[in-house]
Amino acid sequence: MIAIRTSRELELMRTAGKITRDTLLYLGEHIKPGVRTADLNALAHEYILKQKARPAFLKYNGYPKSICVSPDDVVVHGIPGSMRIEEGMIVSIDAGAVYEGYVSDAARTYAAGRISTEKQRLIDVTRECFYRAAAAVRDGARIGDISAAVQTHAEANGYGVVRALEGHGIGRKMHEDPGVPNFGKAGTGVRLRAGMVICVEPMINMGTWKVRFEADGWTCRTEDGQPSAHYENMLAVMADGCENLTE
């Protein structure tokens, strides 16, 4: 079952979304060579609590921290710890907040100091994949329209599209129906309706689309060790388009 949100629910989700957006902007200012990933986690945790919300990821399915910090070949779900960010890394930050019972979830990939033009292009194309997908979101469109938009643009640029993980509906829980894959055919899948809220989140690899999970059960890395980027926003479906709740 896919929930259709009332205008009151959308108002709360807008606030939840703004908290996550602001958290990501705040963290972006702290992504610098030398910072420990645990420091970023602590900053995010305090920031979210100050907004009268709580971190959505902490204890979610046993996840031990408040955000995910995923450098270079870590695709997603990197667990913050003692590791230090180094010059030239790209760092994906995934964060979420729960406000008045409604969840928000979004992600960005940031540059630490100066990065290679290849890494910058990966970040740019991943963001473009998101915007092309978002342009397809409106009442009556289908999930496959989103999937195809991401896959077409990523593969046209020679990149691999992660298949092991996908976008999702969101609301009172972080992961609700429908699943939103980043690969597939336009004109297929569930039909979107005004009032649905979904997270669209391309995870794009410079090399192979294949990934592996570490023994911690969370950390997802590219199989070939090449870098990966992530861009995620929460979109409310409207009659003639969508509203981005986290940007």
Whichever of 115 and 174 has its CB closer to ligand MF3, that residue is 174
Are 113 and 85 spatial neighbours (Cβ–Cβ below 8 Å)? Answer: no
Partner touching 145 among Co ion, ligand MF3, none, CB below 5 to 8 Å by kind:
none
Binding status of residue 220 toward Co ion by CB under 5 A? no
Question: Least distance in Å: CB of 96 to ligand MF3?
Answer: 6
Closest separation in Å from C-beta 58 to Co ion: 15
Name the residue among 244, 234, 4, 228 with its Cα closest to residue 119. Answer: 228
Site for ligand MF3 in 69-98 (CB under 6 A): 77, 94, 96
166 lies in the binding site for Co ion (CB under 5 A) = no
* Residue 68 touches which of Co ion, ligand MF3, none (Cβ within 5-8 Å per kind): ligand MF3
The residues in 89-118 that bind Co ion, with binding defined as CB under 5 A, are: 105
Token digits of residue 114: 């100066």
Helices 7-28, 37-50: axis angle to 10 degrees equals 140
CB of 116 to ligand MF3, least distance (A): 26
Closest CA to 61 of 81, 79, 42: 79
C-beta closer to ligand MF3: residue 162 or 206: 162
Pick from 10, 24, 27, 68 the residue near ligand MF3 by CB under 6 A. Answer: 68
Give the number of other Cβ atoms within 10 Å of residue 62's Cβ: 7
Q: What is the DSSP string of 16-53?
A: HHHHHHHHHHHHHTT--TT-BHHHHHHHHHHHHHHTT-
| Residue bearing tokens 């690969």 | 183
**Rule CB under 6 A: which residues touch ligand MF3?**
57, 60-61, 63, 68, 77, 94, 96, 105, 199, 201, 232
**Rule CB under 5 A: which residues touch Co ion?**
105, 199
